[in-house]
Amino acid sequence: MRFTTVAPALIMTAGLLAGCTQGPMTAGRTADAAPQTQMTAEQVTAATAITRAPAPRPAARASAAQLDTTTPEQRAAAAKPAETAETRLGSTIASLGDPSEGGFWIKTPLVKERGIGRIVDPTTGKSAKVDLIPLDGPASGGSQVSLPALQLLGVSLTDLPTLEVYRS
């Protein structure tokens, strides 16, 4: 695959280098020398040096486990049932928020000011205590959920679950 990319450039460069190393040209040939048919090692090195591309950098990919910086104690606290009265704010379609932002949170248009609450996956009944963070948009708009919160709910990071949102 790489050979097909390099070969035409190498052949063209070799032809140019071969022409440069000969004496005065007369109708495409030198007056006193036969055409050069082999390149020296130095010519090959020079010709391929300009056609070699640097190796691509490996993609900087991190797994969900590497991005989740919460401690076991934080996960246990987020999984505890609510101890105070809660107000149901509504349902929202959730997607994964910025995975580099740690903690348990939901950015949702269902709230107008920051607070503490809980999100519930009605299909499994699992819940997580989260920080409620306002998100611009209509109340029917979607929400963004932190990576640790989605993992605590057992939701696939590529799913778009409907979650119930409660304020404590």
Averaged pLDDT of the chain: 75
User: For the chain, what are the domain ranges?
Assistant: 2-49, 64-167
Cα distances from 44 to residues 7, 18, 52, 66, in angstroms, run 12, 11, 12, 45
Is residue 127 predicted with pLDDT exceeding 50?
A: yes
Main-chain phi, psi angles of 21, to 5 degrees: -90, -5
Instruction: Find the helix packing angle between 2-20 and 41-49, rounded to 10°.
Output: 120
What is the per-residue pLDDT across 92-114, written as a single tens digit (0 to 9) for each? Answer: 999 999 999 999 999 999 999 99
What is the per-residue pLDDT across 39-65, written as a single tens digit (0 to 9) for each? Answer: 666 666 555 544 454 544 444 566 666
Residues forming beta bridges with residue 89, ordered by sequence position? none
Q: Which of 144, 127, 148, 126 is nearest to 135 (CA)?
A: 144
Question: Could you tell me the CATH superfamily of domain 64-167?
Answer: RlpA-like domain (2.40.40.10)
Tokens of 17: 């280098």
pLDDT for res 110: 96
Supply the pTM of this predicted model: 0.54
Determine contact, residues 86/166, Cβ cutoff 8 Å: yes
- Half-sphere exposure of residue 43: CA atoms within 13 angstroms, side-chain side: 17
Q: Report how far residue 26's alpha carbon sits from residue 149's, in angstroms, rounded to the nearest whole number.
A: 78
pLDDT for res 51: 46
pLDDT mean over 124-135: 95
Is residue 79 predicted with pLDDT exceeding 50?
A: yes
Q: Report how far residue 164's alpha carbon sits from residue 117's, in angstroms, rounded to the nearest whole number.
A: 11
Q: Report how far residue 91's alpha carbon sits from residue 74's, in angstroms, rounded to the nearest whole number.
A: 25
Cα distances from 163 to residues 34, 49, 88, 108, 122, in angstroms, run 81, 57, 11, 11, 7
pLDDT for res 77: 72
